[in-house]
Amino acid sequence: MLDETTRMNLLYDFYGPLLTGRQRNVMELYFHEDWSFGEIADHLGISRQGVFEAVKRSRTVLEDLEKELGLLSKHIRRKEIAEAILDQLEGLPEKEAVRRLLDELLELD
């Protein structure tokens, strides 16, 4: 299981473009930069309660998008399949070229 911060950062990577500008600001400072509600409130000139509400709302939006599109769970499954492919090629000289292609494929996520 992913911890909450890692999960939110990943969901943000996948769905961030669908949040509003304000939601993106708050989520980046809170989950990515690890600022406190108070610091974010001072920085953005809004109340602590406003920051709290924005984080709560953004979380809900991100989790709803994951329920609808499942990009994070697909990403995790793709990584597992890529590992299974490399296991199939253990000891073969072709493995390195395939690994580079799989890396390129996974980086699309």
22/78 with CB nearer its own copies = 78
- Confirm if 71 and 16 have CB atoms less than 8 A apart: no
- If you ran DSSP here, which 8-state letter would residue 17 be given? G
Three-class DSSP category at 91: coil
Q: What tokens were used for 85?
A: 């492919």
- Chain centroid to CA 16: how far? 8
Residues 18-57 that bind its own copies (CB under 8 A): 18
Burial of 46 (0-12, 13-18, 19+ CB in 10 A): middle
Span of 5-13, 27-35, 52-60, 96-104 interacting with its own copies by CB under 8 A: 96-104
Decide if residue 88 touches its own copies (CB under 8 A). Answer: yes
Choices 5-13, 25-33, 51-59, 93-101; region in contact with its own copies by CB under 8 A: 93-101
Q: Under the rule (CB under 8 A), what is the footprint of its own copies? A: 14-15, 17-18, 65, 68-69, 71, 74, 77-78, 81-82, 84-85, 88-89, 92, 94, 97-98, 101-102, 104-105, 108-109
